[in-house]
């Protein structure tokens, strides 16, 4: 019976990770700059130089690996040679959650 609390304490963080909603996280954390449709045209974008990345642009995805995209989100723009305006917003995410975020960003690819 000692096992039960132990198992619960192990499975609780796993459940929390599974309930991570990358679309909601994007809406909350990224939309102001990257825009609701991922075009890099959020309300804050007009004032920024360089402009936020446009995730609908196939050339953006052709020019970098998923690992570089994950690194930019986790460690910020400077970690991949980009602007510090892109902050390390994903620093608190697990690798699995970062993978989910990248998959979500790719849903914008090729959209108008
Ligand atoms: C304050 C505005 C701002 C917010 C908020 C923001 N970004 Fe960015 N992001 C930028 C800017 C500006 C760039 C372009 C940097 C450059 O080209 O030097 C960028 C670039 C990127 C890149 C491309 C890095 C590369 O390899 O070129 C990715 C991926 C990215 N952002 C993801 C995200 C995600 C995911 C979120 C939400 C968690 C987010 N950004 C939130 C401004 C922002």
Q: Give the chain's length.
A: 112
Taking only the tens place, the pLDDT of each residue in 51-102 is 999 999 999 999 999 999 999 999 999 999 999 999 999 999 999 999 999 9
Atom of ligand 1 nearest to the CA of 80: 26
How confident is the model over 20-34, as pLDDT tens digits? 999 999 999 999 999
Residues enclosing ligand 1, CB less than 6 A?
A: 29-30, 32-34, 44, 48, 50, 52-53, 64, 68-69, 72-73, 77, 80, 82-83, 85-86, 89-90, 101
List Cα–Cα distances, 103 to 4, 28, 66, 67, in angstroms: 35, 17, 9, 12
């Amino acid at each position: 019976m000692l096992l039960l609390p132990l198992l619960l304490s192990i499975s609780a963080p796993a459940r929390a990770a599974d309930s991570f909603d990358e679309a909601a996280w994007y809406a909350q954390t990224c939309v102001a700059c990257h825009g609701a449709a991922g075009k890099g045209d959020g309300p804050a974008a007009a004032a920024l130089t360089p402009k936020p990345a446009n995730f609908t642009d196939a050339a953006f995805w052709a020019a970098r690996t998923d690992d570089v995209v994950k690194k930019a989100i986790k460690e910020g723009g400077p970690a991949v040679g980009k602007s510090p305006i892109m902050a390390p917003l994903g620093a608190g995410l697990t690798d699995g959650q970062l993978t989910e975020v990248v998959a979500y960003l790719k849903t914008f690819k090729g959209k108008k």
